[in-house]
Chains A and B, each alone.
Chain A
Amino acid sequence: MKPSRAIFVVKGGAITPLGDLEALWRGLLEGRVAFKPAGRSRPYVAAHCEIPARDPELSMRRCMALALESTRELGPGSARSDRCALVFASTKGELDQWELQRALRVKPLEPGIVLSEMASELARRLGIAGRVQATSTACASGSFAAIEAAEMLEDGDADEALVIGADALSLFIEHGFGSLKAVSLAGARPFDTTRDGLTLGEAGAAARLSLQAPRGALGRLVSFGASNDANHISGPSRDGLGLALAIERCLKGQDAGRIKAICAHGTATRYNDAMEAHAFERVFGRRIPPVFSIKGSIGHTLGAAGVVELLVSALVAGRGVIPPTAGFSGQAADEPALDVVRGRPRDVGPGLVLSTNSGFGGMNTALLVGPPEVA
């Protein structure tokens, strides 16, 4: 659905396993991979962030540190503090701190695992006095938070909205995905015929959304859509119907032929990537735009993924270059075979980029992102 008012992505910031937002962009263009061994007694790889030690109080609070670090590049906003909203996206909040404190038998436990508590603390630390909300829709949390923030602006609840997505790696998550046999031992290879699972990553990402487009704005959130598979609690639908519905809702009234690229969810699990291929075929037929996934470089950053990918999509839209998909060898396994960008960046010129996410519980989102001046 296209919002009734133009929504701009004024500025973005991130901390990812490849560094800040510009470092991430350069790393993606170079096809870099940030995977390292997960740790002792864990057979798989993971993508960790190097978080600058700015605040000793946060040394044991990686999720909070990631969230705050991601906002450092944003600079001050232009709205009054009570007209600035915060939508915080996460799957687990300060799970890392909770996990550590429980293992150490600390009593009582800090409440940052409760998402609204973490969102409130973030707002206090950032001086935001407007609407504050935590949004959690599994691995589509970050992109859904962008939708919620855009609607807050459209409805006049705020003049600016900060969308922050953050999730930190933890044993809880690593062993959980391991128990589901969803983790690759060698590293995620999105859409590749040899793919065998995802790689877990961690990140913080922040986007400042506004109704105003100052000079140098990063991009525009042109339209968005969401849906539920209503199919399976943890597996993607086999036919891609749910994601196709989200994309169709997003593209209602839009010319799909103008889309230059798709920033796919592309987790590199066998079922997710196949589901996405089916969904794209349902919507675009044989004219599927070029596809890329950043999860072959930085892993699956869970609740942060949607915000990171919104920002990367805005960079692709504005700079007109699609980064290659690290881990993709050129052998696509799925029908229809997708045009997955590989090897080196592809120049397509500035234009619209579709960003998709899906998650447990059948959650699907689709964001259409363009340069600031796009109509």
Chain B
Amino acid sequence: MTVGLVSYARISARGIVQGGPSVGASLWREASWPELGAPSGEGIPALKGRYFSATPSPRFGRMDELCKLALAAAELCLAKVSITRPEDLALVGGSMLGCLEVDGLYHDTLLKGGPQGASPALFVYTLPSMFLGEIAIRFGLRGRTSLISTGATSAVAALANAVRLVERGRAPGALAVGVEAVGAFAGELDLHVRGTSGASAWLLSAEDGGLARMGDVRYGVAAGRTLAAGPEGYGLTYVAALEQALRERHVGRVVCGEGMQAVSLALE
């Protein structure tokens, strides 16, 4: 059994990509940051809710960068899509670095101000799963909610987990969100992260998808089209290559990662 990919969105330094019948007959739409109303410049601009929705979340401005990126990807993915049974829609997040950037900001308030300097507004975002809470609040999603971290495959592992949930009847649909916020604090780690901030979202349904069908998730070594690993060294490493396979309407298995930690799924 396979499940339907209803819609897709990705946010990167270049702008946004949306996929699905809701964006038009071509199924794919791209827009640069200036086209979304953001000032031109290098990288992702300071995010504003209005770039992604005509009625943005009033909470958007208060969020940390990770939550903003994830919510923006979810907004684009769910735009003009009606969710059946939102109370049962599963939410699966994938991130390698998680909330590291807000961890650093919050920790700096402690280093500078001691216990009295601890910022509650920052502290509540020092959990890697908080972006899922923001998405759940925004869209009224009451399904099971989880965050997976598997290094470079984190985002596609979240997608694979979501596919399984729908395939096995554990949820009628699922939203998978991969996200990374990369800043100064990632650079402090002995990890060699070269990617830039970004996010992706996939909406899955047990019904027909409109964009593609996917299923038969496997873990470990598998034969198929091996997606090229970029140099990013973080959880969104395979997202652009998977998007390319979807745009090419690739049929067959795509493999992300190596050895026992590889994850693969079949595309139709």
- For chain B, the count of residues having a C-beta within 8 Å of the partner chain is 55
Q: Is the CB of B115 within 8 A of A178?
A: yes
Across the interface, A137 reaches (CB within 8 A) one of B107, B129, B189, namely B129
A95 to B189, CA, bound (A): 12
Cross-chain contact A171 with B132 (CB below 8 angstroms): no
Asked if B247 is an interface residue, CB under 8 A from chain A, the answer is: no
* Residue from A107, A129, A229 within 8 A of B188 (CB atoms): A107
Whether A230 touches B107, Cβ cut-off 8 Å, given contacts A116-B151, A175-B115, is no
Contact B151 A137 (CB under 8 A): no
Chain B residue contacts of A231, Cβ below 8 A: 137
Give CA–CA (A293, B66) in the complex, Å. Answer: 34
Give the chain A neighbours of B137 by CB distance below 8 A. 230-233, 362
Does B98 interact with chain A (Cβ within 8 Å)? Answer: yes
Evaluate contact between A115 and B143: CB separation under 8 angstroms: no
User: Known: A133-B157, A137-B129, A361-B145. Is A108-B119 also a contact (CB below 8 A)?
Assistant: no
CB closest chain-B residue, reference A130:
B260
Query: How many Å lie between the Cα of A102 and that of B91 in the bound state?
Result: 33
The reply to whether B124 and A171 contact each other, CB–CB distance below 8 Å, is no
Max chain A Cβ within 10 angstroms of own Cβ: one of B115, B132, B134, B149: B149
Output the least CB separation between B142 and chain A (Å). 5
B103 touches A113 (CB 8 A): yes
| Contacting residues, chain B, for A205 (C-beta < 8 A) | none
- For A102, the chain B residues whose CB sits under 8 A away are 104, 107, 111, 188
Shortest CB distance B19–A (Å): 25
The minimal Cβ–Cβ distance linking B45 to chain A, given in whole angstroms, is: 24
Does A136 make an interface contact (CB < 8 A)? yes
Residues of chain B within 8 A (CB-CB) of A135 are: 146-149
Q: How far is the CA of A117 from the CA of B96 in the complex (A)?
A: 9
A176 surroundings in chain B (CB, below 8 A):
106, 118, 120, 123, 126
Would B97 and A363 count as touching, CB distance under 8 A? Answer: no
Known: A108-B190, A114-B97, A134-B149. A361 touches B129 (CB 8 A): yes
Interface pair B146/A226, CB less than 8 Å apart: yes
Tell yes or no: B110 within 8 A of A by CB: yes
Q: Is B20 an interface residue (CB 8 A)?
A: no
**Residues of B with C-beta under 8 A to A355:** none
Interface residues of A (CB under 8 A from B): 1, 41-42, 82, 91-92, 95, 98-99, 102-103, 107-111, 113-117, 119-120, 129-138, 144, 147-148, 151, 155, 157, 171-172, 175-180, 225-234, 241-242, 245-246, 249, 359-363
What are 24 A-B contacts defined by CB distance under 8 Å? A42-B115, A82-B220, A91-B127, A114-B191, A116-B154, A132-B150, A133-B148, A133-B157, A137-B147, A138-B127, A138-B130, A155-B164, A175-B110, A176-B123, A228-B133, A229-B136, A233-B59, A233-B137, A360-B130, A361-B130, A361-B133, A362-B145, A363-B133, A363-B145
